[in-house]
Structure 1
Amino acid sequence: MDEFRIPIGEVADTVITWIVNNLNALFTVLRTIFDEMYGAIFAILDGPGWIVITILAALIALLARGWKFMLGTIIGLVVIVGVDQWENAMSSLSLVLVATFWALVISIPLGIWAAKSDTFSALVRPVLDFLQTMPAFVYLIPALLLFRVGVAPGIVATIIFAMAPGVRFTELGIRSVDAEVVEAGQAFGSSPSRILRQIQLPLALPTIMAGVNQVIMLSLSMVVIAGMVGAGGLGGDVIKSLNRLDTALGVEAGLAVVIIAMILDRLTNSFGQHSGLFAKFRARKPHVDSVPQDPVNV
């Protein structure tokens, strides 16, 4: 009697092979979109030179959290330049921004849907568990088959790996909105879409931004893995340092990843803080603590 074995791997291989053979045109278009977005963002970040980008980053840091964050941002970016990792850092940052954009485009609507539907929430939860626990290297295999070597498979693997927190935090934020506020909006005759736009999303914004922060951090954690499939950037140098046992190169590339991660982490967290000029500007605007008084549905 043959040993019992469930052919899950063979089934997955058959599915991927069918997709490669029959949907190649679709993935060629997607690859072009990802490559063009990456190229455009990289040109914006790397083209003006490190001095211009550092000044702009310092101004954003000042508005977001104040002069201390601005000083730390300047020092961090100067260190990246000092270890000759600026171009690689902007390459990796471009990949992270593209992957984060698409991850949020997918995850936030799914999170809203999950918050509105208990059935969909129950269905999507095990899928998110699967995405978060599956080893990230596994995502590279179908990504390479579908998108070939380059930036595109790294972006796709990063999107899949990083999108789960966006769904979870969006659902959590909307579900955490006070039910009495939502009921008051309904009593005033507001449509469900208006309640979502003007009550639930504004009140859930700090939680959603925490999800955005986690998406960005997970995307950065994929930088090194993306370097294994030809994405280059800081991940490419980390892989080179591993192959050559080059401690100096590995430390420099790794330090650049840490600096970018710290800057992006503090920047996204600033949306839920009460420091910086951004917070003072928001404080001048009416806070969403009441329902719309206009009973007309929009």
Structure 2
Amino acid sequence: MSGPLIALTGATGFIGRHLLTALTARGYRVRVLLRRPVEVPEGASSAVVGDLARPINMAAALSGVDAVVHSAGLANAMSGAPEDDFRNSNTEATRRLAEAAQRAKVRRFVFLSSIRAQTGPSAPSPLTEADFPTPTDAYGRSKLAAEQALAETGLDWVALRPALVYGVGVKGNMAALLRLARSPYPLPLAALSGRRSLVSVESLSAAVAAVLHTAGPLERALIVADPDPLTLPEMLAALRSGLGRRPSLLPVPSPLLGLACRITGREEMFDRLSGSLVARSDELAALGWQPVQTSRDGLAELARNAAG
């Protein structure tokens, strides 16, 4: 292979594994940056062992690299982690890697941020990049601080802020939703009307490829979201459709469901389920990005693949 050389962090994680496959399929050579000497992931053209907390090997890791794709970090699912842990893993490690990339004269730095760098778990109106970022938790604050650190380096950088990502191997909230869809029982969730944006990991990989291909400086954050936000009942119906089942959703009034969640200590979960979080990807679409599939089709495919 003789395509551009990409240095990829997080290649053994959920998003990173898909990025490795997608980038190599598009003709990129991918050098994975590993924290410990494990087997090189399939599809990587090379690997370098190095700890982002102590970037001793970064000069060697970034030698000859055209672009960095940084997907490693502490995930939002680790919501009980101390704020310092998020700052060290998501902010300071990104800053150190970006400084090393600048010294190595890397052309572009692509950072996998999050929509939570821009907002809390819900938003009253559709989000765009023009909205002032107001993260509400340690995870979101650490991602926004990493974006701000990139802006201070002088690199040509771009931060992708994906909505809730789904795909084979997903964990966290989407994995819990998939387990709920697999349950054999009717679910009392038909009355929930909040709409939420999603993005498949394949569409997110296409967004990474789009910003790598874009000529000229970017130096900004871009939202990544499918254009068809869904309600929770619509998500469950799509998942159960992929399993060859009817939706089987019951219209229990939302206030009653909220009361039950508060009584059982699941008030935060109810807020996430019932609130809206819609995001628009107009700026990314202007660069030529298109989602690979609709959210409904993608969720049905996820359920089919997970069942197989």
For the criterion TM > 0.5, the same-fold answer is: no
Higher-RCO chain (CA-CA 8 Å, sequence separation at least 6):
1
More helix by share: 1
TM-score by length of 1: 0.26
The structure that has the greater radius of gyration is 1
